[in-house]
Amino acid sequence: MKRATALITGLLLVAAGALNSPSFADEKNIPEPFRGETKGSPIEIRYDDWNAILDMTVLDAGTSDRSVASSPRPVFGTRTVRGNTSSTRNEGNRIAFPAFADYEENLRILEQIKTELEAIPEQAPLRLWTKNEQLAYWLNLHNITIIIELTKQYPMKSLRPLLKGSRKEPALWDQKLMTVSGIPLSLNDVHDILVEKWDSTLVMYGLFQGYVGGPNIQDKAYTGRTVHKLLVENAKEFVNSNRGMRPKGSTLHISEYYKKNKKLFPDWEKDLKKHFVSLTEFALHDRIQNAKRIKASTNDFYIADLYAGSASKGSAAASNPAALTTALVSSNDGAGEILPDVNFGIGDWNLDTYANYQLAPIESRFPEYVTEYIQKVRKNKSMRPGNVDVEEVENETPEKEGNN
């Protein structure tokens, strides 16, 4: 894999008085440091290392064929059923959490990237960025944060206890896990900022929830240039899967995640139907529009982990070095003066032993009850000639280069 060249680089070269005057009228519920935008701003945020990490640890499952997973079989010789028993368990992308949980250095690298991301708006205020750059920033910060927090509690099966919280500790999504521009933020705070500021149904699909029944974690980072395209891809994948929206009789069974995003669908049933029609094939439109009931009952809170929430025995390791390198950003204080380069770098760290699920037979790398999912992925991929991302090899294989 090519060495990552930079984590974050940006450049702002704006003459005095050329900045847009941000209007806060429609952002009254957003903390002041996160308001405004600069249309046409040349600031560009790059996430090369975060992108490389996702590329190595996320398995793209492809598009759901809407088949319902059958009841899992008990472990041989017992009545015990291990793993995810949901009918949607073979859908959605997975991330290899043991790549971080088994190797403290890898987790430390994630935490360092997160720290650097939190620091950027102190040097280059968000109001100087375009809206797309801001959106990509918030999505990446949110997703890396939830992956870090789930890694700290790994291994685990269901995320339901983290969603509910307890008397001693609030739900994970309500805990102040980030600090941006001096403001402590929770995962739900970031969600609310995005819903308030963008007022777009697409933003909900970029917020990885960590469980199978939520939107996918992408195998690439969001950027200002790609954020809209990737959000549309995630939206289509989710809506066209059983865990997102499934017509059954005269009822549309939809994910409970939509209830969390009810503000995006003020006229609940009418807006949802319109939304689903916009993201599905014509053959489904009549069933969607004629549905008599919409029921938010589909859920699968099993962790979206390639190893199904089981502690690995180190077999996930593959030697794929990547380094965090010095990141430079040039900023502008809004008065026409170009500020000096600000170094967000942390020096060189080696990122070794990242999971690579592609380099060995699945039987030797995954728990038995995970192979069903991998086999399903292979079947889906085989229907798209020339785009098979998962393969078995018997001998040593060169490391993966780039995205497939």
> For the residues 43-49, what does the mean pLDDT come to?
92
Segment holding 270, helix H or strand E: helix 268-279
* CA angle centred on 395, ends 389 and 397, rounded to 5°: 50
- pLDDT at residue 84, as a whole number: 67
Determine the pLDDT at residue 310: 79
Per-residue 3-state assignment (H helix, E strand, C coil) for 173-239: HHCEEEEECCEEEEHHHHHHHHHHHHCCHHHHHHCCCCECCCCCCCCCCCCCCCHHHHHHHHHHHHH
Which of 54-58, 117-121, 179-183 has the lowest average pLDDT? 54-58
Q: What is the pTM of this model?
A: 0.77
Tell me the residue type at 366: F
**Among candidate residues 334, 351, 333, the one with its CA nearest the CA of residue 342:** 333
| Whether 350 contacts 31, CB under 8 Å | no
Phi/psi at 246 (5° precision) = -135, 115
Instruction: List pLDDT tens digits, range 131-190.
Output: 999 999 999 999 999 999 999 999 999 999 999 988 889 999 999 999 999 999 999 999
How far is the C-alpha of 263 from the C-alpha of 276, rounded, in Å? 16
Question: Does 114 have pLDDT greater than 90?
Answer: yes
